[in-house]
Chain A
Amino acid sequence: MSAEGGNLNPADEFEHAVHPISIGGHELSFHVGPIDMSITTVVLYLWIAAALVVVLFVGLARVAKLMPDRKQVIIESFYEFIRDGLVGAAMPAEVIKTWFPYIATLFTFILFNNLIGLVPLPLSLIDEGWAKNLPEFKTYAATSNLNVTVTLALMTFVLTHYSGIKHNGAFRYFKNWVPTTAPLVMKPLLFILHGFSEIFKVVSLSVRLWANMLAGHIVILVFYSLIFMLSIELAFMALFIEAGVVAVSLFEIFVAGIQAFIFAILSAVYIGGAIHQEH
């Protein structure tokens, strides 16, 4: 916590994440044309999650044996859960093989991003006070940044319509947006309505994940803020508050899994629905 005394504001805690990181006074701020490629805390967290996913899965897959040990059973159960419980449940059978890698990566990537958001990591130094230049443990999740979730949702959006057009042909795909039984005069209106619903799928996907992850962190930070606000003739109160933090954190583990699952299975449903359109 960077706050001194009683002025910890939960809302400020997420401000720093979108600014480029400074190392030795140099800001890692890059621009390629109009594209901002600065290395921010968000990017760092994305990389940490990505590295964890890759190391865990590839590491375990490399030592996979015919006779599995415990770790392998866990990773294979996880794999089969994604294959049968997530992709298999939401997509037409003949495209499962094609889309499994995308949905599985979406699920694990979001899951790990959500989960490392619960682990305090020393990614920056305290910049003032008695503890200046000591590592500052902070919790942050890349998925509590709206940019990240919108990007992920847009990938699903693009892939949904790409696979819809690829499987059905552009004309038939867009024609199927409107029920064939609708009166002719209503068809343009229905088409526009359907277009809006497609856009709002992106909004709902991204905002659901973002809001859930952000809310979880804010609740935890609010509990911590209470320690400073009640400061603290009542030192034992901090214990009660800490218990509250533990409870909320446990709940957040559950939320992390659920939100990753919802994002992945809805992506699967959207893509599957575009491939096998209802007429």
Chain B
Amino acid sequence: MIWTVITFVIVLLVLKKFAFGPIQNMIDQRRQAIAESIEAAEETRREAERLLAEYRESIANAKREAEEIIERAHKVGESTKAEIVEEARQQAHKEVEDARKQVERETRKAIQELKDEIAELAILAAGKVASKSIDREDHLQLVNEALAEVDFDELASGGD
């Protein structure tokens, strides 16, 4: 009977000091560690979410900027194209105009030359016919008067 008490009390004291205490400590420590881990994980998750949101925003911004740049480039291209086309058109127009003027000038010149030639020929012919009845100056006067009545413009436009 006394041995039961002695044995029991020894077991009680030993367990209390060397088993229950350390086990409870270990459980408390583990609870603490787990709580800390959960807290840290939560913190990391929040950080990750924040970063993700940030990246999403910057990606959206970049996209929008890219679109703007493309849009702007597009517009610039359009206007450049229009400009070039317009310039080309003007250039072409100018060249056509120049060419026309050139032709006109050449025509006029040719007509003038033709007039002179005809006058010369007529004087020559008339000289031969009239055998110096009138002098050369009078002759030229007469021919020019006659030629003025001839409408060379019509001739020129017909040859245009």
The interface of chain A, by Cβ under 8 A from chain B, is: 35-37, 39, 42-43, 46-47, 50, 53-54, 57-58, 60-62, 64-66, 68, 75-76, 79-80, 100-102, 104-106, 108-109, 142, 147-148, 150-152, 155
Contact = CB atoms under 8 A, between A and B. Distances in A.
Interface stretch (B16-24, B92-100, B140-148): B16-24
Interface in B4-30: 4-5, 7-8, 10-12, 14-16, 18-20, 22-24, 26-27, 29-30
B129 interface: no
B11 A105 contact: yes
10 contacts: A37-B2, A47-B7, A50-B7, A50-B10, A57-B19, A58-B15, A61-B19, A61-B23, A76-B27, A151-B5
B11 A54 contact: yes
Contact of A76 (B2, B26, B33): B26
Interface of B: 1-5, 7-8, 10-12, 14-16, 18-20, 22-24, 26-27, 29-30, 33
Across chains A and B, which 10 residue pairs bring their CB atoms closest together, nearest first? A57-B19, A151-B4, A101-B16, A61-B22, A105-B12, A58-B18, A61-B19, A64-B26, A43-B3, A46-B7
Contacts of A36: 1-2
Contact of A75 (B1, B3, B11, B23): B23
Contacts of B24: 79
A186 B30 CA distance: 56
B15 A46 contact: no
B25 to A, nearest CB: 8
A65 B33 CA distance: 12
Given A80-B27, A109-B8, A35 B15 contact: no
Contact of A37 (B3, B7, B8, B10): B3
A102 B12 CA distance: 7
A54 B33 contact: no
Contacts of A61: 18-20, 22-23, 26
Contacts of A76: 23, 26-27
A242 B1 CA distance: 35
Contacts of A147: 1, 4
Nearest to A39: B3
Contact of A148 (B4, B14, B19, B27): B4
Contacts of A64: 22-23, 26
Contacts of B4: 46, 142, 147-148, 151-152
Nearest to A57: B19
A76 B1 CA distance: 32
A151 B1 contact: yes
Contacts of B16: 101, 105
- The CB with the most chain B CB atoms within 10 A, among A39, A61, A80, is that of A61
